[in-house]
Amino acid sequence: MTTANPENDFNNSPLRGLGGAPAVGTEIKVFAPATVANVVCGFDVLGFAVNEPGDEVIMRVTDKAGITISKITGDNGRLPLAAEKNTVSVSVQHYLESIGRTDIGLDIELHKKMPIGSGLGSSSASTVAGLFAIKSLLGDDTDVAKLLPFAMKGEEMACGHGHADNVAPALLGGFVLIRSYEPLDVIRLPHPKDLYCAIVFPDVDVPTREARQIIRDKIYMKDAVTQWGNIAGLVSGLYTQDIDLIGRSMKDVLVEPVRSMLIPDFYVMRELAMKAGAVSFGISGSGPSVFAFTRDEETARNITQMLQSHLADIKIASNAYVSTINDAGPRVL
Amino acid sequence: MTTANPENDFNNSPLRGLGGAPAVGTEIKVFAPATVANVVCGFDVLGFAVNEPGDEVIMRVTDKAGITISKITGDNGRLPLAAEKNTVSVSVQHYLESIGRTDIGLDIELHKKMPIGSGLGSSSASTVAGLFAIKSLLGDDTDVAKLLPFAMKGEEMACGHGHADNVAPALLGGFVLIRSYEPLDVIRLPHPKDLYCAIVFPDVDVPTREARQIIRDKIYMKDAVTQWGNIAGLVSGLYTQDIDLIGRSMKDVLVEPVRSMLIPDFYVMRELAMKAGAVSFGISGSGPSVFAFTRDEETARNITQMLQSHLADIKIASNAYVSTINDAGPRVL
C-alpha cells in the first residue's frame, strides 16, 4: 500500500520514539470513539467519530514476550480471548512486528462500552484503542495516522474487508474522507461545531457481511450521478458550515433503499426524526443503528426519546446516544 | 422546478427592474465564456468557466415586437437564423414571456468565437450571452442566477437534455456544482487563484447526443464508489486550495474510458501533458476538446504547443486556449 498524499504518508518515514522499553507493570487506559460510516451519501468513503459511545482498552506491560487478553467485558461472551483471533491483539501484533519489538510482553483488557454488530464501528473502536495504547506506552510520537494500516488489518479480520471508513475517523477523529484505497488517501474534512448527532441502536441483528451482500453489484449511472452530486454537496456544506446544504445533500438512492429493509420501521423513524427537527437521518454504517444530525442538543435528545419510545412500542429494545462530533479520536484516560 | 436552496431560489421572488422599456436603437454587446463540464470526475454535476474562448452577442432594441437574428458569424453556416430554432433567441423569448414583456422588439447578432461541437459549451456561451444582454438592456438587477432556468431551456433545445453543467458556470462564473436538478440546487465552489487551464480542441466531430449515447446505463457499484471518493476529494481540494489533491482526485473510471475512444490519441495526449507538468488532464464535456490544469501559464502554453504539434503530426487541425478560471461569468463589452 502506497500513498500519494504526503500528509498521510503511511510508509515512507519510520515510526519513531521507540528507544526505551516501558517498565514491566506499566499500565495505560485508552478510550476510542464509536464512528458513523457512510454518512448517508458517502458509501464506503465517509465517516465521522462521536464522543459517545466508545470502547476502552487497559494495556499492561508484562515480563513475557507476546500478547495476552486477560479480560473482555460488555461483549456477552461474543469476542475471542485468544490473542491470535482478537482484532485488538492482532492489530497490536502487526504494529509490534513493523517496529521490530515483538520482544515486548503485553496484557490487554477490553471493555466494550457499545453493542457489537450495531453499525457503530465497534471493532474499529476496540482496535484503535489498542493501537493508541501501545503507541502511547512506547512513547511513539509519530503521527497517529501512521497507525491506520494496522487498524485496517484488524478491520479486515473483523468484517472481511479492510475498509477504513470506521477506523480512519476512530483514529483521526472528526469527519474523514477516504478518497482512495490504492493508494490509501485519507482527507480530514471540517464540520460545523454546533452539529449534534443523535444515535439509536435498535437491538436487532444485522451482521456486516450480510448487510454488504444485499447491496447490488450493478447500479444505474443516473443514480450514481445523483449520489456524487450529493456527496459533493455534503463536502461543500462541511467546508462552508452550511447545515442546510449538509441536510439536503444527505440522501442515498443506492444503499439505503436496500439496507433499510433490515431495520425495523426505518421510514417511520425517519419521519419522526425529521418532523422533530432533524437536519438529516440515515443508517449508521451497515446498520441497524440509525443517526440524525441536529442543530442543538435538545432536539437530538428529543429525537432519541421519540425513536426509543417507538421501538419500545414495537417490542424492540434499544440504546441511544447524543454527542457532538469527536475531533480528538482516541485518548488516554 | 423548485429549489430548497434559498441563495439559488429561482422562482420565489419576481424578476425586478423592469419599469422602463429601452429606447429603440439601444444596443449592447455581451461576452459569455466557454466552459469545461464534468471536470473528469464530476460527470453531469461539475463545470467551470474560462476567460478564453467565449461568444459575443450584440442585441439591439427594434420597433417591432418579437425577436429577429440578423447575423451569425463564426459558425460556418451551421446555426439557424430562424428565431424559433436558435437557442439564443428561444431562451431570450422564454425570459421575455416570464416577465410579460413580449411587446419588446429585439435584433440579435451572434458572433461565435469558438468551434461548435467542441465540448466547450458553445451553445451555452451563446445562450448566456443573449440572456445577459436582455437582462442588462432592461436594467433587471435581480441575481444573474435567476436566468439559469431560461438558459437550461436553450440547452435542452441544443443537445436534447436540460443539463446545467455548462450553462451554470457560463452564467455564474467560476467553479460550479449542480448538486441536484429536482429541485435545482447550484453551489458555487471556490478554487485556487493560480490554477491555469490549457485547452486543446482537435477538430474532429463528436456530437453531444452521440457522446452521451455511448455511456453505459449500468455501472459497477465499486466504480461508482471510486468516482464519488474522487469527486469528494476534488471538492475538498478546491476548498483547501490543495492543487495536489485536486490533481490526484481528477480520475474518471466510468465515462472517460468510453468517450476517450472518440478522441484521437487521447492517452498519448494525456501522457504528453502529464510529463510536461500538468496537474491533471481529461475530456472537456463530451469532447473532443481536452484540457489540463497547470500551476502556471508557461506550463499551460507548453502543453498546448506539444498537443497541437502532436495533432498536426497525425494530420488533425486544432485550436488551443490558455486561461485562468473565469470568475465573472458574462460581461458587457
pLDDT tens track of chain A, all 333 residues?
334 454 444 444 444 445 567 889 999 999 999 999 999 999 999 999 999 999 999 999 999 999 999 999 999 889 999 999 999 999 999 999 999 999 999 999 999 999 998 999 999 999 999 999 999 999 988 889 999 999 998 888 776 677 899 999 999 999 999 999 889 999 999 999 999 999 999 999 876 667 667 778 899 999 999 999 999 999 999 999 999 999 999 999 999 999 998 899 999 999 999 999 999 999 999 999 999 999 999 999 999 999 999 999 999 999 999 999 999 999 999
The DSSP result for A101-167, as a single string, is -TT-EEEEEEE--S-TTSSS-HHHHHHHHHHHHHHHHTT--S-GGGGHHHHHHHHHHHHSS---TTH
Q: What residues of A are in contact with residue B39 (Cβ under 8 Å)?
A: none
The domains located in chain B, with CATH, are 6-189 (3.30.230.10), 196-324 (3.30.70.890)
Q: Do B248 and A221 touch (CB under 8 A)?
A: no
- Rounded distance, CA B326 to CA B50, Å? 5
Judged by CB atoms closer than 8 Å, whether chains meet at A224 and B227 is answered as: yes
Catalytic status, residue B208:
yes
CA of B2, closest CA in chain A: separation in Å?
13
Q: Kindly list the residues of chain A whose beta carbon comes within 8 Å of any beta carbon in chain B.
A: 4-6, 41-46, 177-180, 185, 187, 189, 215-222, 224-236, 239-240, 244-245, 248-249, 254
Residue of B nearest to A178 (CA): B229
pLDDT at B4: 44
A122 assigned ligand-binding residue: yes
Closest-CA residue of A relative to B178 is A229
Instruction: Express the helix, strand and coil content of chain A in percent, nearest 5 each.
Output: 35, 25, 40
Distance from CA of A153 to the nearest CA of B (A): 21
Q: B233, A5: Cβ pair inside 8 Å?
A: no
Residues of chain B with a CB closer than 8 angstroms to some CB in chain A: 4-6, 41-46, 177-180, 185, 187, 189, 215-222, 224-236, 239-240, 244-245, 248-249, 254
Sign of CA dihedral B4, B8, B11, B14: positive
Contacts of A235 in chain B (CB under 8 A): 232, 235-236, 239
**Please, what's the b/e burial string for A107-132 (b: 16 or more CB within 10 A of its CB; e: otherwise)?**
bbbbbbbbbbbbbbbbbbbbbbbbbb
Nearest residue of chain A to residue B224 (CA atoms): A224
Strand segments, DSSP code E, in chain B are 27-37, 46-62, 66-73, 105-111, 175-181, 184-189, 196-202, 218-220, 280-283, 290-294, 318-324, 331-332
C-alpha cell at B200: 486543446
Calpha distance B60→A326 (Å, rounded): 60
- Considering only the beta carbons, identify the residue of A222, A235, A240 that sits closest to B232: A235
Query: Judging by DSSP bridges, how do beta strands B105-111 and B66-73 pair with one another?
Result: parallel
Q: Which of A56, A155, A294, A299 is catalytic?
A: A155
Residue A21: CB atoms within 10 Å: 14
Cell 510529463 -> residue: B275
Number of H helices and E strands in chain A, helices first, is 10, 12
pLDDT digits (tens, 9 = 90+) for B73-94: 999 889 999 999 999 999 999 9
Contact B303, B26 (CB under 8 A): no
Contact B232 A229 (CB under 8 A): no
Q: What 3-state class would DSSP assign to A54?
A: strand
Q: How many angstroms away from the CA of A219 is the closest CA of chain B?
A: 5
Q: Do B177 and A229 touch (CB under 8 A)?
A: yes
pLDDT at B214: 76
The pLDDT tens digits for B229-271 are 999 999 999 999 999 999 999 999 999 999 998 899 999 999 9
Own/partner pairs, A70-76, CB within 8 angstroms, 24+ separation: A70/A107, A70/A108, A70/A109, A71/A109, A71/A110, A72/A109, A72/A110, A72/A111, A72/A112, A73/A109, A73/A110, A73/A111, A73/A112, A74/A111, A74/A112, A74/A113, A74/A114, A75/A110, A75/A112, A75/A116, A76/A116
Residue that is written with C-alpha cell 441502536 in the block: A201
The reply to whether residue B231 touches residue A228, judged by beta carbons under 8 angstroms, is yes
Nearest to A230 among B179, B220, B229 (CB): B179
Query: How big is the A-B interface in CB pairs under 8 Å?
Result: 142
Which residues of chain A neighbour B228 with C-beta distances below 8 Å? 41-43, 45, 224, 227-228, 231
Alpha carbons B70 and B72: distance in angstroms, whole number: 7
Specify the pLDDT at position B6: 40
Could you tell me whether strands A175-181 and A184-189 are parallel, antiparallel, or unpaired per DSSP bridges? antiparallel
Are B112 and B55 in contact by the 8 Å Cβ rule? The answer is yes
Contact A206, A287 (CB under 8 A): yes
Residue in chain B lying closest to A224 (CA): B224
Contact A226 B180 (CB under 8 A): yes
Best residue in A236, A251, A259 for a mutation probing chain B (most B CBs within 10 Å): A236
Mean pLDDT rounded to a whole number for chain A = 91
Closest CB from B42, B216, B225 relative to A44: B225
pLDDT at B163: 83
Going A146 to A148 to A149 to A154, the CA torsion angle's sign is positive
CB nearest A231 (choices: B43, B221, B228): B228
Q: Which residues of B are annotated as a binding site?
A: 115-125
Q: Is A32 within any annotated ligand binding site?
A: no
Name residues of chain B where pLDDT drops below 50. 1-4, 6-17
Inter-chain residue contact B233 with A177, CB threshold 8 Å: yes
- Of B155, B256, B294, B299, which is the active-site residue? B155
**Catalytic position from the list A3, A35, A208, A299:** A208
Look at B179 and A220 and tell me if their CB atoms are within 8 Å. Answer: no
Query: Is A221 in Cβ contact with B220 (below 8 Å)?
Result: no
Cell numbers at B312, concatenated: 498536426
- Count CB-CB contacts under 10 A for residue B274: 15
Residue B142, C-alpha cell as written in the block: 435581480
A232 and B180 in contact by Cβ < 8 A? no
Give the closest-approach CA distance of B32 to chain A in angstroms.
25
B280: chain A residues, CB-CB within 8 Å: none
For this structure, is B102 an active site residue? no
List the single residue in B43, B46, B218 with the smallest CB-CB distance to A218. B218
Residues making up the annotated binding site of B for ATP are: 115-125
From chain B, pick out residues whose CB is under 8 angstroms from the CB of A249: 179
A89 annotated as a binding-site residue:
no
